[in-house]
A and B are shown apart, each in its own frame.
Chain A
């Protein structure tokens, strides 16, 4: 039977929330079966900020993200090919996703010039001008060999309006076609298109529809974590997720705050990534159910409790706030301990979401979660509205 031939991505829905759009499933990828909804920690340069692959497995991390732009510069696609791909190079045996590099072009390189051909930029490591085309991005991502790869998209800043938005939306679709043609490993690497259209409902809709015509295994929503109003953010997410096919995974790029993740899950999103949990760890901050605490503050100097009494991570089992306070920022160990805790926090959150959907308790989970986050202040309007749009009514007890 032809269905038995190995596919780069097979998505199976296990359970759907009977109130909201939330769902839980399994993505069978080339290297690992990933449970969704899933948070993907960011390991930009082929390493997750001081954490060993063994430690990531210990905290049940199933998929991590790497960056084609950074890896394309160092160590470069040729070396990664020689190493047998990034999995072997960094010795990570579970799933990997690579970002195409479009976002980095815009966020890191102010001098990037975008033309129909691709993104022209000055290399930060040399004087030469470089050109990242859709074809080159896919060539690099084929060399890296991640389970899921992303198309190169024409990323624009969220505050841009007018014809540039339209151009970026349609160019992204044209680049998608070029990426699909250039993709040499469709049998073991699933490519995701990226929906663009800034905060223009009409363009978002067109972009989503254009991408739905393509033969792809899943979809990403891009350009949505750049500081736009939350009131608009959730509407843009729902607009796409409502019409995207149920049987394929949906990924909102750059979303990582616990609250945003829970809302997006309710809106029907399956995958998330963000540097936030690992970056905030490097700044001495630890995630807790009600938000985060900054352990650099003097009030933790004599606080001899773990970061979170309920947390079962290796950091909380052994180390106290007072000790962490004493070694931040002098010791790299402080950063490792907070990174482990924060990743454990995100991964546990995702597990709770999946469990609650399976047990048909997702709306209750959301209400409890919201009451913890907003224990000392009224619930934000956008949260109430977004949840209401998917039939979770916070006002009804």
Chain B
């Protein structure tokens, strides 16, 4: 795999191209762009024939090891690649470690292993095991084993441990990578840890910059995948900016998770190239449709506002203030169904009691409360008789063919098609958002240089 930087634009961000994938010679993707979040190897709710109604593009899939782990036994025994196993051989695969939309259980550490939570419960992955798995899965891109269990509240000791484990694992994985005939043709991505500690970030970045990898993943920024969109950008800005200073400019930079679109813009400005679709997926999972307007001039200016098409400008600001003031909002965070199931498993296997309830009613209430400035909740009864599309003029299948009243009805009656329609719209909207970002960057290359 090759990443080529086309422009470096200190004011707006950078444009790049990913191509020369060993397995997919015709694949080409421009950055900034998206990895498509998968769970169990599928884009949630979308079968391949429906994906084709969304886009004919060859999609890059983000395949977290924890949510596909249960299938590795079959993948190894059948001796097929992960792409072949999941029935999507023509798509690009990027194997990561933790599902970016769920909560990483904190405090499960062992020397030199990473703890992941699969369908069958807790799994300890050693670096050797990790490389065996990658050798079997044969993803086009993958990260070395890492311990990303840090967030803004992590102690210095935890941060140092996470950094040490990750860097040591990288060293091992790198040696294995270059000496494996299978893996040396794949792209190894180096995870950079260091939590919210600038010094550790710097040390990790400097260390990893010595190795000729295709790119880097800035990891260890959050634990709760469902509330990443509530992390204010200013709290991560310095960390990202500082980390990026110490890695070679011409290499790919990746950040995972459901960051709010406004933060995504700022990360692009700092020079991040690849993100994922956690945000549109989590919104759909909670019955929300993305309705923010990205079609604005000066997308990368300091005071740009991505306005919710359903709010007037004033309402939008008031809403934001309310959001910042509401502390209970944090504790009332939404957890995806998978997460609940995991917790249920844990309760049984470990006897550990987790805060999140599997209670359906509570889950439903939290769904109704999941409203961001970027979306509308189609659980809202005001859409009961609204026979207009989610966004007028939106070209996605959902907006071309279905109304808010119908999606509302599907959610209220718990029909599966509701999620399908929301996923189609949200992914379409988010892909268009990124398309606009790239166009904007292209248009403004001259101006900003």
A residues lining the B interface (CB < 8 Å): 45-55, 58, 70, 74-75, 79, 82-83, 89-91, 301-302, 304, 314-315, 318-320, 322-323, 325-327, 330-333, 335-337, 340
Closest 9 CB pairs of A and B: A50-B416, A326-B71, A333-B42, A319-B87, A327-B40, A47-B417, A318-B87, A314-B49, A45-B413
Q: Does B371 contact A (CB under 8 A)?
A: no
B87 near A323 with CB under 8 A, answer: yes
A264 to B70 Cα, complex, angstroms = 44
A318 to B121 Cα, complex, angstroms = 29
The smallest C-beta distance from A98 to any residue of chain B, in angstroms, reads 16
What are some 6 contacts across the A-B interface (CB < 8 A)? Answer: A45-B415, A47-B410, A58-B49, A83-B405, A304-B80, A326-B85
CB neighbours (8 Å) of A301 from chain B are 73-74
A75 near B420 with CB under 8 A, answer: no
A320 to B270 Cα, complex, angstroms = 43
Q: Given A52-B50, A304-B78, answer yes or no on A326-B45 (Cβ-Cβ < 8 Å).
A: no
CB neighbours (8 Å) of A58 from chain B are 49
B416 near A49 with CB under 8 A, answer: yes
Q: Does B321 contact A (CB under 8 A)?
A: no
Q: Does B44 contact A (CB under 8 A)?
A: yes
CB neighbours (8 Å) of A304 from chain B are 78, 80
Interface centre among B119, B406, B416 (most CB of A within 10 A): B416
> Which of chain B's residues 34-64 have a Cβ closer than 8 Å to chain A?
39-50, 53
Q: Does B311 contact A (CB under 8 A)?
A: no
CB neighbours (8 Å) of B401 from chain A are 53-54, 91
Q: Does B409 contact A (CB under 8 A)?
A: yes
Q: Give the residue name and chain of the A residue nearest to B417 (CB).
A: A47
A337 near B47 with CB under 8 A, answer: yes
The smallest C-beta distance from A125 to any residue of chain B, in angstroms, reads 10
B385 near A314 with CB under 8 A, answer: no
A308 to B77 Cα, complex, angstroms = 22
Q: Given A52-B50, A91-B402, A318-B87, answer yes or no on A331-B44 (Cβ-Cβ < 8 Å).
A: yes
Secondary structure class of chain A's binding surface, majority of residues = helix
Which one, B42, B43, B80, B420, contacts A52 given CB within 8 A?
A: B420
Q: Give the residue name and chain of the B residue nearest to A314 (CB).
A: B49
Q: Does B384 contact A (CB under 8 A)?
A: yes
The smallest C-beta distance from B407 to any residue of chain A, in angstroms, reads 10
Chain B interface bracket (under 10, 10 to 19, 20 to 34, 35 or more): 35 or more
A47 near B70 with CB under 8 A, answer: no
Q: Does B341 contact A (CB under 8 A)?
A: yes
**Extra contacts besides A58-B49, A75-B384 (14): CB < 8 Å:** A46-B409, A47-B415, A50-B45, A51-B417, A54-B397, A75-B405, A82-B387, A89-B406, A314-B47, A320-B85, A332-B416, A333-B43, A336-B45, A336-B420
Which one, A45, A74, A320, A340, contacts B47 given CB within 8 A?
A: A340
CB neighbours (8 Å) of A337 from chain B are 47
A394 to B49 Cα, complex, angstroms = 41
| B376-409 interface code vs A (CB 8 A; 1 in, 0 out) | 0000000011010000000001000111011001
A312 to B80 Cα, complex, angstroms = 23
Q: Give the residue name and chain of the B residue nearest to A90 (CB).
A: B406
A330 near B409 with CB under 8 A, answer: no
Q: Does B412 contact A (CB under 8 A)?
A: yes
B341 near A323 with CB under 8 A, answer: no
Q: Does B86 contact A (CB under 8 A)?
A: yes
B405 near A333 with CB under 8 A, answer: no
CB neighbours (8 Å) of B341 from chain A are 330
Q: Does B320 contact A (CB under 8 A)?
A: no
Which one, B74, B397, B412, B420, contacts A326 given CB within 8 A?
A: B74
A52 near B406 with CB under 8 A, answer: no
The smallest C-beta distance from A192 to any residue of chain B, in angstroms, reads 26
Q: Give the residue name and chain of the B residue nearest to A76 (CB).
A: B384
Q: Does B238 contact A (CB under 8 A)?
A: no
Q: Given A323-B41, A327-B42, answer yes or no on A55-B410 (Cβ-Cβ < 8 Å).
A: no
Q: Does B338 contact A (CB under 8 A)?
A: yes
Q: Does B258 contact A (CB under 8 A)?
A: no
The smallest C-beta distance from A299 to any residue of chain B, in angstroms, reads 12
B87 near A320 with CB under 8 A, answer: yes
A82 near B86 with CB under 8 A, answer: no
Q: Does B226 contact A (CB under 8 A)?
A: no
Which one, A51, A74, A315, A326, contacts B413 given CB within 8 A?
A: A74
A322 near B78 with CB under 8 A, answer: yes
The smallest C-beta distance from A255 to any residue of chain B, in angstroms, reads 25
A46 to B80 Cα, complex, angstroms = 40
Q: Give the residue name and chain of the A residue nearest to B414 (CB).
A: A45
Q: Does B419 contact A (CB under 8 A)?
A: yes
B48 near A318 with CB under 8 A, answer: yes
The smallest C-beta distance from A145 to any residue of chain B, in angstroms, reads 15
CB neighbours (8 Å) of A89 from chain B are 403, 405-406, 409
A332 near B40 with CB under 8 A, answer: no
Q: Give the residue name and chain of the A residue nearest to B68 (CB).
A: A326
Q: Give the residue name and chain of the A residue nearest to B43 (CB).
A: A333
Q: Given A49-B416, A54-B397, A58-B49, answer yes or no on A79-B40 (Cβ-Cβ < 8 Å).
A: no
The smallest C-beta distance from B35 to any residue of chain A, in angstroms, reads 18
A82 to B87 Cα, complex, angstroms = 42
A333 near B412 with CB under 8 A, answer: no
A79 near B415 with CB under 8 A, answer: no
B406 near A50 with CB under 8 A, answer: no
B48 near A314 with CB under 8 A, answer: yes
The smallest C-beta distance from B229 to any residue of chain A, in angstroms, reads 23
The smallest C-beta distance from B138 to any residue of chain A, in angstroms, reads 16
